[in-house]
Amino acid sequence: MRKATNASALKIQAQLGNDFEVLEFTESTRTAEEAAAAIGCSVAQIAKALIFRTADTSQSVLVVASGPNRVDEKKIAQQVGEKIVRADADFVRAKTGYAIGGVPPVGHATPPIVLLDEDLLEFDSIWAAAGTPNAVFNLTPVQLQQLTQGKFVDTAKR
């Protein structure tokens, strides 16, 4: 683990400012499981960023979910007021500026609708991707809400 040196990770570091530290790992942090293993935290403390697309208006919807949780697309559709579909890799890169596996919760090319998994509130410390498949940063759920202006809701398929 080291301080960020990759251009995408440095871009997120600049966006976050001095209150946060983007860390890069030699091993992958692309999946919640890989990130938890590299960091040494529980999978549930990984705040994974998932991008969906609204079916009618093609808006990006960012759901930041606790690592092991599957997102209930019907719950997300209710929150945004229209049907949603999984976004493909091209849509994700166009709307966020990042590739799947490294999408951060901040710094998107096009500001998304943001929903935060209320299960993340169970933790004092969570970890989010920082622009590459091996860069992350640590924050609290309150800081996540402040950075994204998202709202905490029930997003998990139960």
pLDDT of 107 reads 95
Mean pLDDT over 88-100 rounds to 96
pLDDT of 25 reads 94
- Which tokens sit at 70? 């599957």
For residue 43, what are the CA distances in angstroms to 17, 29, 61, 101?
A: 26, 11, 23, 15
pLDDT of 1 reads 79
Among residues of the chain, what percentage have pLDDT more than 90?
94
What band does 3 get if pLDDT is binned at 50, 70 and 90? confident
CA 6 to chain centre: 18
* Domain positions in the chain: 2-153
pLDDT of 6 reads 82
C-alpha–C-alpha distance, residues 2 and 118, integer Å: 30
For 35-88, how does the pLDDT look when each residue is reduced to its tens digit (9 = 90+)? 999 999 999 999 999 999 999 999 999 999 999 999 999 999 999 999 999 999
Other CB atoms within 10 A of residue 122 CB: 12
Mean pLDDT over 92-100 rounds to 95
Answer whether CATH 1.10.150.120 is correct for domain 2-153.
no
For residue 47, what are the CA distances in angstroms to 4, 58, 105?
A: 19, 24, 9
Q: Which residues contact 142 (CB under 8 A, 6 or more apart)?
A: none
CA nearest 73: which of 1, 82, 49?
82
pTM of the model: 0.96
Please determine, for residue 127, whether its predicted confidence score (pLDDT) is greater than 90. Answer: yes
